Amino acid sequence: LLCNQLSRMRCGLRALAFRRRAIQWSSQARTFASKSFNDGYNVEKNSTIFGKILRGEIPAKILHEDEKCIAFEDVNPIAPVHALVIPRKLISQVSKAEEEDKELLGHLILTANKVAKKKDLGKGYRLVINDGVQGAQSVYHMHVHVVGGRQMTWPPG
């Protein structure tokens, strides 16, 4: 009985800490999302975690790399396979992409397909692009999630 109570208390504390972090991230995301920028390939100005990965300041398990994008494994996977495909060009949100970005956006999807093949997701996978606060975007450098390796459910959110 005591173990069950302690376990429930720990779960409750973890849930409370997660809610606090989510509120903090949401507040930071709103502040960042209000800034309008798209500094192109100037990686030095990109202060996001993805900018740090692009500059080699933070290690990542790279799955694909070319002149337009890189793909790497997500450090907090939600499925057996969870990779991210990010453009080298800083586009903060998909909703802020411009007409000149259409070739790059297509390239990201094709790269996601290559990553899915490399990770043996022949039975299917999900591509996700979160946009803005209500879309649960956590890093304001547009990215495509490649998620698979298990049965996905619907609706997703």
Q: Which residues does 45 contact at the CB level (< 8 Å), separation at least 6? A: 39, 51, 90
In the residue annotation, 143 being an active-site residue is answered as yes
* DSSP structure class, residue 40: B
* Kind plus residue range of the DSSP H or E element containing 63: strand 62-65
* Closest alpha carbon to 38 in 99, 109, 110: 99
* Active-site residue (options: 82, 107, 141, 143): 143
What residues are labeled active site? 143
